[in-house]
């Protein structure tokens, strides 16, 4: 926590909280979007079994409360000075809880979790999926409806909530009992926080978060009854889906939620078709603005809702690599370097990687390979290999995955790229960013503020306040 600021006891401020995979951060923004107060706490990841990645819901809640109080105090303010609260959260991380008591049935199951990998692979290879693909192809040829084409190409992923939730329903008896009693709530982190902040009165999410679960139909803009019936998920447990600009109220402060990658896209002002945003944190997420229509992909790009604010609906196509920051932190734990800031200089200290290649796949490989069982590995090791060669190979692997995602995006969307903006902690690495720009063969703009998810949800929260004021005055 920084030192308390003085002279800021009057005026209107926006509070923005980003619940990421590594940290929970909170900033207080003034009307010029300058940060007036901040607070950060670390997210504790739990690994109860091989392939399982969890978070304690109560630790997430207490961390959220801590950073909110800390940032407001750091700015020298009171909550009465806060005009709105924006919340951005990591996506596809979920829990289930008792509707009456609010007590979770289990820890948050992270988007990185691999417990459903065998189930996903079994379904993707099943006769049922082959029949669905063939039927949907025929229907698409007859109707030319893009959502039928999407259904003919659907491939399940461990990163989507779908089969991790199926796994939870199969393994936790108390969830099944609560479902039977009509007393079970499902939710991603944003839904859980809103439920807690409203003392159980609101069970809701927004379109940006819902669309990343794998259970939401981005073409029909509703939870997929077809998919739920296919894999036996009860629709009764799902939250209400609202506009990104919809606001709940906490202690007289309007608040809204938004998915972190979409918030970063908004924060980077990628409002036009063809704008690309690359966030490099725990994972890399590359998004392109596709306008008012969802993109149908054959190689693993995923159509998500960017935001829905009133009548404005913006779609994004997204590709991701799950283990960007994870690989770098792993190398640090192996003592290949002591400070992450040293990695760029280490990479530049050698002419090349000496033939060493690194595969950054602690959580499988996503688009275009889409292999949840792929393992991380070094190849090409020899007696002449040094720590600098290993570090360079790891950093190169991040840039190479960026290139893979970029090529898929160009090939599949056929949308001319307008601009490319990057953010996230890993984007501060000069070696990675220069190699990425070289591989792309074009300029890549890096914002001085890496925490664009906070800024994006602050923008949307402030926009919500302005729109509400205009409506009241009119």
306 in the same domain as 173: no
CATH of the domain at 356: 3.30.420.40
- Does residue 472 belong to any structural domain of this protein? no
Structural element, H or E, at residue 331: helix 324-333
pLDDT of residue 3: 41
CB 305 within 8 A of CB 262: yes
Q: What is the pLDDT of residue 144?
A: 86
- Number of domains the chain is built from: 3
- Point out which residues pair with 185 in neighbouring strands: 97
Q: Quick one: DSSP state of residue 365?
A: B
- 444 in the same domain as 342: yes
Range of the domain at 440: 284-453
Q: Does residue 263 belong to any structural domain of this protein?
A: no
In a domain, 148, yes or no: yes
Judged by phi (left if over 0) then psi (alpha if -120 to 50, else beta), residue 92 lies in left
Note whether 87 and 180 are same-domain residues. yes
Same-domain check for residues 82 and 131:
no
Q: Which of 217, 242, 267 is the last residue of a domain?
A: 242
pLDDT of residue 448: 80
Show which of 208, 242, 276 is a domain's final residue: 242
Per-residue pLDDT at 4: 45
- Element (DSSP H or E) covering residue 435: helix 430-440
Q: For residue 186, what are the CA distances in angstroms to 95, 161, 203, 234?
A: 6, 11, 9, 10
The sheet carrying 82-89 orders its strands as: 35-42, 23-29, 13-19, 82-89, 253-259, 248-250
Q: What is the mean pLDDT of each run of 10 residues along the chain (474 residues)?
A: 45 91 95 94 96 97 97 94 94 97 97 93 93 92 84 85 97 97 97 95 96 93 94 97 82 88 96 97 95 83 92 94 94 95 97 97 85 89 97 98 95 93 94 98 89 93 71 50
In this structure, are 380 and 313 located in the same domain?
yes
Tell whether 87 and 146 lie within a shared domain.
no
Closest CA to 227 of 236, 237, 216: 216
For residues 23 and 107, membership in a common domain is answered with: yes
**What pLDDT shows up at residue 469?**
55
85 found inside a domain: yes
Residue 166 inside a domain? The answer is yes
The three-class DSSP label of residue 93 is coil
Q: Is residue 249 part of a domain?
A: no
Burial of 5 (0-12, 13-18, 19+ CB in 10 A): middle
1 within a domain of the structure (yes/no) = no
Task: For residue 105, give Cα distances in angstroms to 53, 177, 234, 447.
Answer: 16, 11, 16, 40
pTM exceeds 0.85, yes or no: yes
Same domain, 311 and 350: yes
Q: Both 229 and 297 in a single domain?
A: no
- Do 400 and 434 share a domain, yes or no? yes
Domain check: are 59 and 142 in the same one?
A: no
Give yes or no: residues 416 and 307 share one domain.
yes
Tell whether 269 is covered by a domain: no
Rounded Cα gap, residues 72 and 82, in angstroms? 8
Q: What is the pLDDT of residue 295?
A: 87
């Amino acid at each position: 926590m920084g030192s308390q600021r003085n002279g800021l006891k009057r005026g209107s401020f926006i509070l923005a909280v980003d619940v990421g995979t590594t940290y929970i951060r909170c900033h207080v923004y003034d009307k010029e979007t300058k940060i007036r107060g901040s607070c950060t706490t670390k997210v504790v990841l739990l690994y109860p079994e091989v392939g399982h990645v969890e978070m304690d819901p109560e630790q997430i809640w207490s961390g959220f409360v801590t950073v909110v109080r800390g940032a407001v105090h750091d700015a020298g303010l009171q909550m009465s000075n806060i005009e709105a609260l924006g919340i951005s959260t990591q996506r596809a991380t979920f829990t289930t809880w008792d509707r009456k008591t609010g007590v979770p049935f289990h820890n948050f199951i992270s988007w990185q979790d691999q417990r459903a990998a065998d189930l996903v692979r079994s379904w993707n290879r099943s006769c049922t999926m082959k029949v669905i693909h063939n039927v949907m192809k025929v229907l698409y040829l007859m109707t030319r409806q893009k959502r039928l084409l999407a259904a003919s190409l659907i491939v399940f992923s461990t990163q989507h909530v779908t089969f991790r939730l199926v796994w939870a329903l199969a393994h936790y008896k108390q969830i099944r009992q609560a479902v039977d009693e009509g007393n079970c709530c499902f939710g991603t982190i944003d839904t859980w926080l809103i439920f807690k902040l409203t003392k159980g009165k609101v069970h809701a999410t927004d379109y940006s978060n819902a669309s990343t679960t794998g259970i939401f139909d981005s073409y029909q803009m509703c939870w997929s009854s077809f998919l739920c019936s296919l894999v036996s998920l009860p629709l009764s447990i799902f939250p209400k889906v609202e506009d990104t600009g919809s606001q709940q109220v906490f202690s007289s402060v309007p608040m809204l939620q938004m998915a972190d990658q979409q918030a970063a896209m908004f924060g980077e002002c990628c409002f036009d078709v063809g704008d690309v945003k690359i966030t490099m944190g725990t994972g890399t997420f590359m998004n392109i603005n596709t306008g008012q229509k969802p993109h149908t992909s054959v190689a693993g790009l995923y159509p998500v809702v960017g935001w829905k604010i009133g009548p404005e609906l913006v779609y994004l196509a997204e590709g991701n690599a799950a283990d960007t920051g994870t690989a770098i932190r792993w190398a640090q734990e192996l003592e290949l370097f002591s400070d992450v800031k040293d990695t760029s200089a280490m990479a530049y200290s050698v002419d090349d990687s000496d033939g060493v290649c690194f595969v950054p796949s602690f959580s499988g490989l996503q688009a275009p390979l889409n292999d949840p069982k792929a393992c991380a590995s070094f190849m090409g090791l020899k007696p002449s290999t040094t720590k600098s060669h290993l570090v360079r190979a790891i950093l190169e692997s991040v840039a190479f995955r960026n290139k893979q995602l970029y090529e898929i995006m160009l090939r599949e969307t056929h949308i001319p790229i307008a601009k490319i903006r990057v953010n996230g902690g890993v984007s501060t690495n000069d070696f990675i960013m220069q190699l990425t720009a070289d591989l792309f063969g074009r300029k890549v703009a890096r914002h001085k503020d890496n925490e664009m998810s906070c800024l994006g949800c602050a923008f949307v929260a402030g926009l919500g306040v302005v729109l509400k004021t205009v409506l009241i005055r009119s």
